[in-house]
Amino acid sequence: MTEFQLDGKFQQISIDPTAHVELGQDVTLRSFVCLEVGNGATLKLGNRVFFNINCSIHCGYHIEIGKDTMFGDGVRIFDSNHQYSNYHVEKIAFNYGKISIGKNCWIGANVVILKGVTIGDNVIIGAGAVIHKDIPSNSIVVSKEELIIKERPQLEHHVFTLTASDTLENLTYLVENLPEVSFHIAAKTNVSDRLEAFKKYENVTLYTNVHHDDIIEDLLDQSEIYLDINHWDQVDSIVDRAFEKGKPVFAFDNVAHRTELGGSVFSYQKPEMMVGEIQRRLFGYAVDIVN
């Protein structure tokens, strides 16, 4: 790999040892450029690629830029974004998409290029545009942006679980039979694929790497019922804290913690009983479930 041509001062370059970087001749970074290439990521820059002052390139997955492409002041390139739900934005969990930018392009000042975008050859993009879809070769892009405001729908009723285990007793049954209840599941670490799979349900929100106690307190305050359904031990005395806040605690008999404090305990072989009681508590009725 050849070296960057540094023109000016205060460039910030961070390349993970596991990253793969292919650098053409005379790639220039002017003052205050920030370039980050993350763990296992790939960055390919062709000959004479030029980044003007205050550009930032955040490569967490894969970015390719063809030769003789120029970037104006303050261009931002992101091949990832934070995972989010209607309730929560993850701090260190991301979605990724490859960015490909062709040769002989001119990207104007303060353009933002987002993940998953392909920009063809010989493209000019006017200042301030946000590029979130593919641009064909031999194009000029002029931004006439409107603010589009979308709602993040919130359900009325909430339950909460803090876990160090990826096994939450009868979670699938509860989620599928209580579609009008929002399930908030927090962990102090990354979670396994087993729990990640629950993101397919619109009424499930996962909170990973939660290290700040005020976030746990907010989730407890928001919830109407604490679900003591995780295998292994309770985390950070969370069941005790739920009782201290006067929250109803519902548990299955094979995983219940701190039963001496009270709460409602149901047979893990009859999850419909817990569903019915949640419906009565939150909605004032119970629906018969046919298995």
CA–chain centroid gap for 267, Å, is 35
- Tell how far CA 156 is from the center of its chain: 23
Residue 48 near residue 67 (C-beta atoms within 8 A)? yes
The answer to whether residues 114 and 80 touch, using CB atoms and an 8 Å cutoff, is no
Contact indicator for 75, 113 with CB cutoff of 8 Å: yes
Name the region of 188 (left: φ>0; alpha: ψ -120 to 50; beta: rest).
Answer: alpha
The residues that bridge with 226 in the sheet, in sequence order, are 160, 249
H or E element at residue 26: none
Active site residue 82: yes
For residue 151, what are the contacts with CB-CB under 8 A and spacing of at least 6? none
Which two three-digit tokens encode residue 12?
């910030």
Q: How far is CA 1 from CA 23, 25, 185, 216, 272, in A?
A: 6, 9, 45, 47, 62
Which of 20, 62, 82, 88 is an active site residue? 82
Question: Where in the sequence numbering do the catalytic residues fall?
Answer: 82
